[in-house]
Amino acid sequence: MISVLKKLYQFAGEEQKNIKKSIFWGFFYAVFHMFQVGAIYFVILALTSGNKTYHAAWTALLLLVVSIAGRAIINRFTQLQQTHAGYFMVANKRIEIGDKLKRIPMGYFNAKSLGEITGISTTVLDVVESNGPVVLVNILSGFINSIVFLLCVFGFDWRIGLLALAGTVLYLFITSVMEKKSASVTPRRQESEAQLVDAVLEQIQGMSVIKSFNLTGKGDRRVREALEYNRKSNLDIERLFTPYMVAQELSLHLFSVLIMGAGIIFCLNGNMTLSDALMTVVISFLVFSQIQSTGSAVSLLRVVGSSIDHADQIDEIPEMDSTGRTIYPKKHDISFDHIDFSYDRRPILKNVNVTIPDRTTTAIIGPSGSGKTTLCSLIARFWDVDSGSIRIGGTDIREYTLESLMDQISMVFQNVYLFADTIENNIKFGKPDATHEQVVAAAKKACCHDFISALPDGYDTVIGEGGATLSGGEKQRISIARAMLKNAPIIIFDEATANVDPENEDKLQKAMEELMRDKTILMIAHRLKTVQKADQILVLDGGRIAQKGTHEELKDMPGIYRDFLEVRKEAAGWKL
């Protein structure tokens, strides 16, 4: 239990100061609680001695008012500090996870699904947010306050004190056993929470497929299994805790009765005054209140600790940016020096050895699965190569910080992702300090100013997550405007014009030519007029460079490129 408390305290980070304050004020809460006990004892003394005066009544009332007011004020401070600590310690962890995910290889997202990460960031950390500071403060404050109460009871009557101490020790023993037993089931509960989020996200994202195959109500097997696993894991915890919680309650009630009986027996034997015997009855109801709240907190401690362990798994992922330095090269030539790369031991690129000169355009073509997109992604260190090296401006990209590396690169993907934000913020995502005029200028060059202006709120229009409210061509043009505004020296196009309608393609082609001026360009393309203008053409096949040269050099050479030209010419001649 101590190790879990230490883990929770370390997790609090900057919020440790608020937790310390909450524990500190919790001690005074116990002191004010003793004022209430003192008021009761004062009344009992007055009644048993026959001193029924207004003075005794007013004194008792004053003690009660001080007790109630003091506890109310202190409780307000402690609750605010606990709430602040809970929100901010988890908020800081979520920000830390977000920053961490920027610095890890994309391969992690293949091994760990979006639902796993989402589950950790939401439900798993929600447990820590809601219960972490409360558990920590209640346990530590409860122990301190119980010790204070027990010392007062020993000062009142050592025999009653021994009974109270025995009850406390028995209760803590049962609690300790329960806490150790919970270690076997709480990790499964956290795992089930993350799996449930994963399954629900997958169900929502694939709803169009489910509906198109008429599987509504049928294609939810994974969700049902996740729900069942989550139900079972939660019930397992409850089944485990229930016998121990019953034993806890029975032990406290048993010793409460023993304390009450001892006071009566001592009084009947003449070993205790009537007033002290009556006070013993009162003590029997109050003495275990603080330790009881501690026990309730301990039952949640293992769940909170398991949640922290689950969240901290992300910290163990090796970072790609651990030894980089800030580099801004004068030239932006790109060289692939005998690189190999595999996805989960499946070879994708094999011994790729090529140079892309500074301020030239290189077109990459090849059949599906030949490694075109992977080759471009390796430049941005979405993954690291298995062997060999990639250099920009003569420096291995692994020597760059990811921030300075990405400052050199703009990427326009075939599958564009836009954020649930305004169109203007999406365009200036790569250059947050850009002015509105600069955003509009980039949008005009990318041929998207007209459709943006026609929207109800223009550039302030909030689009759905992933750009769901826009067409494919509209998203593509916004993505190109984003790249234009960033104005990086290296630009990578992955079929940038694939979703653009014919009437805008020529305008967009001119805009792209403006963007490409004096830049190092890589483009994955299948349009003949795009490819044949390139300074260099790379033909990939089976993860290797099968052909390399200009359009004029490759057009009459037997191989994939000539086949590519023939297919394009045949397609261009089709008529309806």
Q: How far apart are CA 507 and CA 515, in angstroms?
A: 12
Residue 306 pLDDT greater than 70, yes or no: yes
- The residue whose two tokens read 């497929």 is 209
Q: What is the pLDDT of residue 61?
A: 85
54 Cβ partners below 8 Å, 6+ apart? none
What pLDDT band is residue 299 in, cutting at 50, 70 and 90? low
CB 369 within 8 A of CB 359: no
Burial class (CB in 10 A: 0-12, 13-18, 19+), 130: middle
Among 110-124, 228-242, 281-295, 359-373, the range scoring the smallest mean pLDDT is 110-124
- Domains identified in the chain and CATH numbers: 2-316 (1.20.1560.10), 332-408+534-576 (3.40.50.300)
Mean of all residue pLDDT scores within the chain: 81
Among 211-215, 303-307, 344-348, 359-363, the range scoring the smallest mean pLDDT is 211-215
Model confidence over 430-448: pLDDT tens digits?
A: 788 889 999 999 888 888 8
As given in the structure block, the two tokens for residue 575 are: 């008529």
247 Cβ partners below 8 Å, 6+ apart? 174
Residue 507 pLDDT greater than 70, yes or no: no
Q: What is the pLDDT of residue 548?
A: 92
Residue 540 is inside which H or E element, if any?
strand 536-541
As given in the structure block, the two tokens for residue 398 are: 């692994």
Strands in 520-524's sheet, in edge-to-edge order, are 409-412, 490-494, 520-524, 361-365, 536-541, 544-549
- Write phi, then psi, for 404 (nearest 5 degrees): -70, -30
Closest CA to 512 of 559, 562, 447: 447
Dihedral sign (CA 449, 452, 458, 459): negative
Query: Looking at residues 517-530, what average pLDDT do you find?
Result: 81
Please state, in angstroms and as integers, the Cα–Cα distance from residue 544 to each residue in 347, 364, 531, 548, following that order.
11, 12, 19, 11
Residue 335 pLDDT greater than 60, yes or no: yes
Q: What is the pLDDT of residue 437?
A: 92
Please state, in angstroms and as integers, the Cα–Cα distance from residue 525 to each residue in 119, 361, 502, 511, 534, following that order.
38, 12, 16, 16, 10
Q: What is the pLDDT of residue 160?
A: 87
Q: What is the pLDDT of residue 411?
A: 85
Among 220-224, 542-546, 562-566, the range scoring the smallest mean pLDDT is 220-224
Query: Looking at residues 112-125, what average pLDDT do you find?
Result: 73
Q: What is the pLDDT of residue 19?
A: 83
Q: How far apart are CA 44 and CA 504, in angstroms?
A: 92
Among 209-213, 379-383, 548-552, the range scoring the smallest mean pLDDT is 209-213
Task: Select the more confidently predicted residue: 79 or 391.
Answer: 391
What pLDDT band is residue 468 in, cutting at 50, 70 and 90? low
Question: What is the rounded end-to-end Cα distance, in angstroms, of the chain?
Answer: 76
Model confidence over 125-174: pLDDT tens digits?
A: 888 888 777 777 777 777 777 887 788 888 888 898 899 899 888 888 88
136 Cβ partners below 8 Å, 6+ apart? 5, 8, 9, 12, 19
Residue 315 pLDDT greater than 50, yes or no: yes
- Write phi, then psi, for 249 (nearest 5 degrees): -60, -45
Among 131-135, 336-340, 357-361, the range scoring the smallest mean pLDDT is 131-135
As given in the structure block, the two tokens for residue 505 are: 């393609």
Residue 413 pLDDT greater than 60, yes or no: yes
Helices (runs of H) and strands (runs of E) counted in the chain = 22, 10
Query: Looking at residues 85-102, what average pLDDT do you find?
Result: 85
Q: What is the three-class DSSP state of 218?
A: coil
Amino acid at the residue 173: F
Query: Looking at residues 463-473, what average pLDDT do you find?
Result: 72
Q: What is the pLDDT of residue 107?
A: 62
Q: How far apart are CA 149 and CA 294, in angstroms?
A: 14
What pLDDT band is residue 392 in, cutting at 50, 70 and 90? very high
Q: What is the pLDDT of residue 213?
A: 61
What pLDDT band is residue 575 in, cutting at 50, 70 and 90? very low
What pLDDT band is residue 108 in, cutting at 50, 70 and 90? low
268 Cβ partners below 8 Å, 6+ apart? none
Residue 52 pLDDT greater than 70, yes or no: no
Q: How far apart are CA 143 and CA 250, in angstroms?
A: 20
Dihedral sign (CA 325, 331, 337, 343): positive
Q: What is the pLDDT of residue 576?
A: 45
Q: What is the three-class DSSP state of 457?
A: coil
What's the number of CA atoms in the CB half-sphere (13 Å) around residue 185? 20
